[in-house]
Chains A and B, each alone.
Chain A
Amino acid sequence: DVKVTQSSRYLVKRTGEKVFLECVQDMDHENMFWYRQDPGLGLRLIYFSYDVKMKEKGDIPEGYSVSREKKERFSLILESASTNQTSMYLCASSFRWTLVNTEAFFGQGTRLTVV
């Protein structure tokens, strides 16, 4: 089974803290993604990485950065956490797309609360 593992299920952080969310996949996928899930807004892409050290901004990158030093690991960094970053964060991975390989596999999510 494909596994995308997020390091924490629940996190509570204080405003202004630097927060690291970690994601590891075991399928040798080239692509990795960080999404944010909020009620009524669906899944919104924060950042996308298509190779080691390569990254691309998604729809809502402000206040976030990412790091991909190894193929299997993709980290999301909240430089200075704010209450409006309280949300569910989902990591996903997929093969580089072809007509055959298109499925994205998601982790179970990290529920982050910033107080």
Chain B
Amino acid sequence: QQQVKQSPQSLIVQKGGISIINCAYENTAFDYFPWYQQFPGKGPALLIAIRPDVSEKKEGRFTISFNKSAKQFSLHIMDSQPGDSATYFCAAPLAGGTSYGKLTFGQGTILTVHP
């Protein structure tokens, strides 16, 4: 069974600090690695995603870094804000056959940013 391993399970950061969440994956159909953000009482929503032609993608305060040889990718949140407090999920597409289009999610990281 394909796996995506996410760490840490929870993270507490002071306002203005850097939040870092890591994920490691096994075999995937192709290199597409999204991060989803979930606020309490809501479903997850796409935050940022990286595609195979780049090793890093930045959108505002959010950056994904991708290390293909190590099969790892990470989310960095710069200048973390209390409004960033949420659960974050990394994901990767399963390899093979009609599973094309399915995502395997990590275990989730509960981020708390203290004011």
Contacts and interface: CB of A to CB of B under 8 A. Distances in A.
Contacts, number: 61
B1 A42 contact: no
A99 B29 CA distance: 12
B89 A59 contact: no
B101 A94 contact: yes
Contacts of A115: none
Nearest to B6: A42
Interface string B89-115: 100010000111111111110000000
Interface in A21-55: 31, 33, 35, 40-45, 48, 50
Interface of A: 4, 31, 33, 35, 40-45, 48, 50, 56, 58-59, 90, 92, 94, 96-97, 99, 102-109
B105 A96 contact: no
B43 interface: yes
B102 A45 contact: yes
A108 B43 CA distance: 4
Contacts of A102: 32, 34, 49
Q: Most chain-A CB neighbours within 10 Å: which of B6, B44, B99, B101?
A: B101
Most buried by B among A40, A94, A103, A104: A104
Interface of B: 1, 6, 9, 32, 34, 36, 41-46, 49, 51, 89, 93, 98-108
Contacts of B6: 42
A48 B93 CA distance: 13
A104 B47 CA distance: 11
19 contacts: A4-B43, A33-B102, A35-B105, A40-B107, A42-B6, A42-B106, A43-B105, A50-B98, A56-B99, A56-B102, A58-B102, A59-B104, A99-B51, A102-B34, A103-B34, A105-B45, A106-B36, A108-B42, A109-B43
A35 B91 CA distance: 13
Pick the 8 closest A-B CB pairs, nearest first: A106-B43, A43-B105, A42-B107, A97-B101, A42-B108, A42-B105, A103-B46, A31-B101
Nearest to A91: B43
A97 B100 contact: yes
